[in-house]
């Protein structure tokens, strides 16, 4: 039997902390698959898990369990949104993020709300809806401040910096980037939430490089040169479990070198980026290769650049 809100009515069922822990562990396992292999590796599994997770909400009798369960179900929807985004399914992603936000609000979890807003903003940023992204990042910052989470604030600031870089706003980009670094330093030693644990020193370095790489495209190549050490640091720091992040960072490093006319390094780094992108089940990563292709295309008379462009086109035509 199904209730008016779509939940299955489970009379007589009692849900306890053990059930919540099992759900949290399941989300953690699915998130690890997403990081390593791309959203296509686990999107269906995430969505298949949702009905049973939602149904658990009807079996809770203790308030202390309810808030934690709402958070766990919200985070599962959060992951559903992210994996759909990674699979180039923006409408489905926004629908899942919307449900995640509703549940996070019901749970009273400001930190999770900040993370969901960050992810919605990232979706808008990917599809070049920069102003919409900035609105989401601003709402996310409000939630992060309410949660007193310096790590969430750092994530939002770093992404606000990226959005301003896309608008060719050097002052705004560098101001938010400085703030992100400060907030990240202040977050040191605090246990991160599972949905924000990815953002360690390596990801902070990747965001520094990303912002400078974006400014290299929108303003002047000198900004890209400033970001090369951070990109190299991030590439060195990413473990095998973070394949997608490593691939995206390689794309940025190759793009910056290509923009600067350093084709030997650009093609060497680009080859690794393309290889990883081809192995991932992530159309989003392959779409990000377009910037590298455009940068290499400025040197269409160069054989290595042409070969790199051809490899990118081949990967772009591959399946998910």
Does the reported pTM lie above 0.85? yes
pLDDT for the residue 62: 81
Per residue in 251-284, pLDDT (tens digit) is 999 999 999 999 999 999 999 999 999 999 999 9
> How confident is the model over 206-224, as a mean pLDDT?
98
Q: How confident is the model at residue 130 (pLDDT cuts 50, 70, 90)?
A: very high
Give CA–CA dist 144/151, Å, rounded. 8
Nearest in space to 103 (alpha carbons), one of 89, 116, 122, 91:
116
Cα–chain center distance at 132: 16
Q: How confident is the model at residue 63 (pLDDT cuts 50, 70, 90)?
A: confident
> How confident is the model over 130-154, as a mean pLDDT?
98
Give CA–CA dist 155/140, Å, rounded. 10
Q: Where are the domains of the chain?
A: 16-108, 109-192, 209-216+223-235+244-315
- Contact by Cβ (8 Å): 39, 87: yes
pLDDT for the residue 45: 98
**Mean pLDDT for the chain overall:** 94
- Contact by Cβ (8 Å): 185, 177: no
Structure tokens at 125: 């940023």
The CA R_g of the chain, rounded to the nearest whole Å, is 20
> How confident is the model over 28-34, as a mean pLDDT?
98
Q: How confident is the model at residue 100 (pLDDT cuts 50, 70, 90)?
A: very high
Per residue in 108-127, pLDDT (tens digit) is 999 999 999 999 999 999 99
pLDDT reading at 237 higher than 90: yes
Q: Residue 240 gets which letter from DSSP?
A: G
pLDDT reading at 11 higher than 80: no
Which residues touch 143 (CB under 8 Å, ≥6 apart)?
Answer: 110, 111, 113, 114, 117, 152
pLDDT for the residue 263: 94
Give CA–CA dist 281/292, Å, rounded. 19
pLDDT for the residue 118: 98
Which residues touch 295 (CB under 8 Å, ≥6 apart)?
Answer: 217, 254, 255, 258, 259, 266
> How confident is the model over 242-248, as a mean pLDDT?
97
pLDDT reading at 189 higher than 80: yes
- pLDDT cut 90: percent of the chain above it: 90
pLDDT for the residue 59: 85
Query: Could you give the dihedral angle defined by the CA atoms of residues 192, 195, 196 and 198, in that order, rounded to the nearest 10 degrees?
Result: 100
pLDDT for the residue 125: 98
Q: How many residues does the chain have?
A: 320
CA distances, 155 to each of 23, 113, 116, 203, 205 (Å):
25, 13, 12, 9, 12
- pLDDT cut 70: percent of the chain above it: 95
DSSP 46-81: HHHHHHHHHHHGGGB--HHHHHHHHHHHHHHHHHHH
- 2 versus 14: the higher-pLDDT residue is 14
Burial category of 194 from C-beta neighbours within 10 Å (exposed 0-12, middle 13-18, buried 19 and up): middle
pLDDT for the residue 319: 54
pLDDT for the residue 14: 84
pLDDT for the residue 13: 63
- Contact by Cβ (8 Å): 130, 165: no
Q: How confident is the model at residue 9 (pLDDT cuts 50, 70, 90)?
A: very low
pLDDT for the residue 316: 78
Q: Residue 108 gets which letter from DSSP?
A: T
* Beta partners for residue 2, in sequence order: 8
Return the CATH architecture of domain 109-192.
Alpha Horseshoe (1.25)
Per residue in 192-204, pLDDT (tens digit) is 999 999 999 999 9
């Amino acid at each position: 039997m199904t209730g008016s809100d779509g939940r299955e009515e489970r009379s007589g069922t009692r849900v306890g902390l053990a059930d919540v822990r099992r759900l949290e562990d399941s989300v953690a396992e699915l998130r690890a698959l997403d990081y390593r292999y791309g959203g296509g590796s686990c999107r269906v599994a995430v969505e298949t898990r949702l009905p049973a997770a939602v149904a658990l909400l009807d079996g809770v009798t203790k308030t202390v369990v309810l808030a934690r369960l709402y958070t766990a179900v919200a985070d599962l929807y959060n992951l559903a949104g992210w994996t759909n985004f990674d699979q180039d399914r923006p409408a489905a992603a926004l629908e899942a993020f919307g449900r995640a936000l509703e549940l996070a609000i019901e749970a009273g979890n400001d930190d999770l709300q900040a993370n969901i807003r960050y992810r919605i903003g990232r979706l808008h940023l990917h599809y070049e809806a920069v102003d919409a992204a900035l609105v989401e990042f601003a709402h996310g910052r409000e939630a992060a401040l309410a949660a007193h989470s310096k790590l969430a604030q750092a994530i939002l600031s770093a992404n606000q910096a990226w959005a301003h870089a896309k608008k060719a706003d050097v002052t705004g980009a560098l101001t938010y980037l400085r703030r992100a670094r400060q907030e990240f330093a202040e977050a040191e030693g605090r246990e991160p939430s599972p949905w924000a644990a990815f953002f360690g020193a390596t990801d902070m370095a990747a965001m520094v490089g990303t912002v400078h790489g974006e400014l290299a495209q929108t303003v002047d190549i000198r900004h890209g040169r400033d970001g090369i050490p951070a990109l190299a640091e991030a590439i060195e720091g990413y473990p095998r479990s973070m394949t997608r992040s490593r691939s995206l960072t390689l794309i940025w490093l190759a793009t910056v070198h290509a923009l600067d006319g350093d084709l030997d390094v650009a093609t060497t780094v680009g080859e690794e980026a393309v290889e990883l992108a081809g192995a991932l089940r992530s159309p989003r990563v392959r779409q990000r290769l377009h910037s590298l292709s455009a940068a290499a295309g400025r040197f269409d008379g160069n054989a290595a650049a042409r070969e790199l462009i051809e490899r990118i086109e081949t990967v772009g035509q591959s399946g998910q």
